[in-house]
Every structure is written in structure tokens, then in C-alpha cells.
């Protein structure tokens, strides 16, 4: 039983099938995040020996690093079902209760964007996670009665891009908490070569590393770029991805040597030109760029912070000297128009 949060049209289904086909099915196939993988191997093996469900698990990290993939792998390794939902989809307590009461022993319940669960729904999770029970309230006022419904033991896996927004009571109920970090180029190149084999495209070492270098340390981005380079190679290069082909294709896509795209450069330019290098608050950036602040915080900003193009201070975001150099701007002339 898998709950989807949105209707799937034919194009979405095809895209989802391709994404799923690129996902590893076991921990032995999973590339990168070595310490997390080793922790999960031990926890899974111990749980299987005891014939018990796993402890609840929380994965934290920027989008595209493999949180959902790990949840599906865990279900596969444990030999159980996985039921998926997301924080915004669980609008009422009844939505959650309907899923929990249909769980079988050992099932994996995966909640993406768990930090966005409404407070009223979150409170239903506390007894479910701790005591494997939910409380129903009948009537109101002086006639109110409660009934505790026992649940089968299950494993909740939560994924979040902003662990700081989780309440302490919820965070403390997870037995295993792990932070996923950006991937290095070596691991990304391995992922790209594996994906290229699956989608039946020829790629050499140079091509794989060129895509990896521009993939923002993120497997999801690496696979997306691989598909774009595949299209280019099939039309312009006899279906073979070399370093030169990858460079040409990604330059056409507007992806530079550091993996920055148009929106990344716009953000840096906005800080440097509009706000004299910063500091500038996230809401001001959001209004200027006409992008949701959540998109800036969760999707765009983490990589720019990691690679040192911006820094975050108590007053706001500031562009670094590295950002000025990358945009060919003189740090002493903050109003100079960048050259590309």
C-alpha cells in the first residue's frame, strides 16, 4: 500500500519509473555515505537476528542525497512493505490514523519532509512511535471518552531537509539519527557510470568526472545532468559521452565548472550588486529573486554555503571573495556588471 500525494500523468509516470530504475536496491549497491551505510547494515542485521522491527530512523540533509532511496533499501533489506507519505499531505489526524491502523508488523512508514507535519498530527505520532498505540477521543466536554487502539510494531523513517524545525519531543523519539552530506566527485563518478550502464549509454572516465564535478555533490543532480548529456551525445556525438562532449552539453545547459546554474549566479549577483555584497536577509533575497524563501534555504543555499560562495551571519547572507572571482567582479567595485 503506497500513498501518493499527487495525481500522476503519463509523463510523470515514465519519469518516475526511470528514477526508480536508477535507485540501488540494496546497501551493497549503494555508493557513498559509508558511515551511514555501515550503521544501517549493523542495525538491520541485529534486528533480523532478534526478529524485531528496526528502531525509528531520521535522515537529515539537503534534497537529492539519497534519503528516500535509503528508506526503500531498508524496506527491501528487511523484507517488509514500505508505505510513503509526506508532511504536507498529512493535513489531519485522521489521515495519519488511517495509515497507522493498516500497518502490519515490521512495515516501514516513510514520511518525507517530516518537519512540515502539522502540530496536531505530530501529537498523534508520539504514542504511535513510543507505545505503538493511538488514542481515539469520543464525544466532547464532560462526556469525552478515550479509547486506545493498539498498533502493530512498525518502523517510522523520517526525512527532513531542516532538522532544526523538528520539535524536540519528535526528534527524541527516533532511535537512529543520521545526517547525509554532499558526495565527493569520486563517488559521484561511480554513480554516474552505474546509471549510464542502466540507461545504456557509453561514457568514459573523463565524461563521468566532468559531470560529477558539476553535479553539486548530489546524486539526483548527477543523474539529471547525465540524462541531459545523454541527449546531447546521441544527437551530436554518436551516443558516446567523453569529457569534451560533457563540457559542451553542460555549457549549453548553463552549468559552469562549479555546478552553478543561472539561478545560483543570479543569487550571487543580487547579493553583490543589489545589496553591495551583503549582509542581506533571506526574505529580501526571496522578494528580489521572486522565489520562495524555502526554495532558497533548502535547495539553492546549502551548496553555495558548502562551497564557500556565500556565508551566513546573524545579519544575513554575504558574498565571499570566491563569489566575486567566480563572477569576474572586482571586490573593490561592487557595482561592476559581471562579465561571462
220: annotated active-site residue: yes
253-260 long-range contacts (CB < 8 A, ≥24 apart) are: 253/225, 253/228, 255/214, 255/225, 256/214, 256/326, 257/213, 257/214, 258/214, 258/307, 258/309, 258/326, 259/213, 259/214, 259/215, 259/216, 259/217, 259/221, 259/303, 260/309, 260/326
* Catalytic site residue from 23, 214, 220, 230: 220
How many other C-beta atoms lie within 10 A of the C-beta of residue 14? 11
**Cα angle at 58 between 55 and 60, to 5 degrees?**
160
CA atoms of 9 and 15, how far apart (whole Å): 10
131: annotated active-site residue: no
* Catalytic site residue from 161, 218, 307, 320: 161
CA atoms of 56 and 54, how far apart (whole Å): 6
Name the DSSP letter for residue 216.
Answer: T
* Catalytic site residue from 68, 155, 270, 307: 68
* Catalytic site residue from 23, 67, 214, 230: 67
DSSP 78-110: HT--EEEEEGGG--SHHHHHHHHTT--TT-EEE
161: annotated active-site residue: yes
CA atoms of 77 and 283, how far apart (whole Å): 43
Distance of alpha carbon 270 from its chain centroid, rounded? 26
List alpha helices for 176-281, DSSP H: 185-198, 205-213, 219-236, 243-252, 262-269
DSSP 241-256: E-HHHHHHHHHHTT--
State phi, psi for 92 to the nearest 5 degrees: -130, 160
CA atoms of 334 and 261, how far apart (whole Å): 21
* Catalytic site residue from 23, 80, 84, 112: 112
Residues annotated as catalytic (active site), given as ranges? 67-68, 112, 161, 220
Amino acid at each position: 500500500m503506497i500513498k501518493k500525494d499527487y495525481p500522476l500523468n503519463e509523463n510523470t509516470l515514465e519519469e518516475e519509473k526511470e528514477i526508480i530504475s536508477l535507485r540501488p536496491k540494496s546497501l551493497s549497491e549503494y555508493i557513498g555515505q559509508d558511515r551511514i551505510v555501515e550503521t544501517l547494515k549493523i542495525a538491520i542485521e541485529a534486528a533480523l537476528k532478534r526478529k524485531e522491527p528496526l528502531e525509528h530512523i531520521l535522515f537529515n540533509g539537503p534534497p537529492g542525497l539519497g534519503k528516500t532511496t535509503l528508506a526503500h533499501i531498508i524496506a527491501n533489506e528487511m523484507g517488509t512493505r514500505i508505505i510513503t507519505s509526506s508532511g504536507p499531505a498529512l493535513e489531519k489526524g485522521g489521515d495519519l490514523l488511517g495509515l497507522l491502523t493498516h500497518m502490519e508488523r515490521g512495515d516501514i512508514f516513510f514520511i518525507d519532509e517530516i518537519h512540515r507535519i502539522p502540530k496536531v498530527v505530530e501529537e498523534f505520532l508520539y504514542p504511535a512511535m513510543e507505545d505503538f498505540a493511538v488514542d481515539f477521543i469520543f464525544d466532547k466536554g464532560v462526556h469525552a471518552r478515550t479509547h486506545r487502539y493498539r498498533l502493530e510494531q512498525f518502523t517510522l523513517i523520517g526525512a527532513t531537509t531542516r532538522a532544526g524545525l523538528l520539535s524536540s519531543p519528535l526528534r527524541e523519539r527516533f532511535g537512529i539519527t543520521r545526517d547525509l552530506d554532499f558526495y565527493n566527485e569520486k563517488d559521484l563518478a561511480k554513480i554516474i557510470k552505474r546509471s549510464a550502464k542502466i540507461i545504456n549509454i557509453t561514457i568514459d572516465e573523463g565524461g563521468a568526472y566532468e559531470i560529477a564535478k558539476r553535479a553539486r555533490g548530489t546524486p539526483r543532480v548527477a543523474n539529471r545532468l547525465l540524462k541531459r548529456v545523454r541527449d546531447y551525445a546521441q544527437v551530436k556525438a554518436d551516443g558516446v559521452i567523453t569529457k569534451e562532449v560533457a563540457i559542451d552539453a553542460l555549457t549549453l545547459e548553463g552549468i559552469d565548472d562549479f555546478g552553478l546554474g543561472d539561478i545560483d549566479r543570479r543569487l550571487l549577483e543580487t547579493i553583490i550588486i543589489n545589496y553591495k555584497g551583503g549582509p542581506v536577509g533571506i526574505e529580501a533575497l526571496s522578494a528580489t529573486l521572486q522565489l520562495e524563501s524555502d526554495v532558497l534555504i533548502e535547495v539553492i543555499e546549502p551548496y553555495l554555503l558548502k562551497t564557500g560562495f556565500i556565508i551566513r551571519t546573524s545579519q544575513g547572507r554575504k558574498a565571499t571573495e570566491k563569489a566575486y572571482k567566480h563572477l569576474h567582479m572586482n571586490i573593490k567595485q561592487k557595482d561592476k556588471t559581471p562579465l561571462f
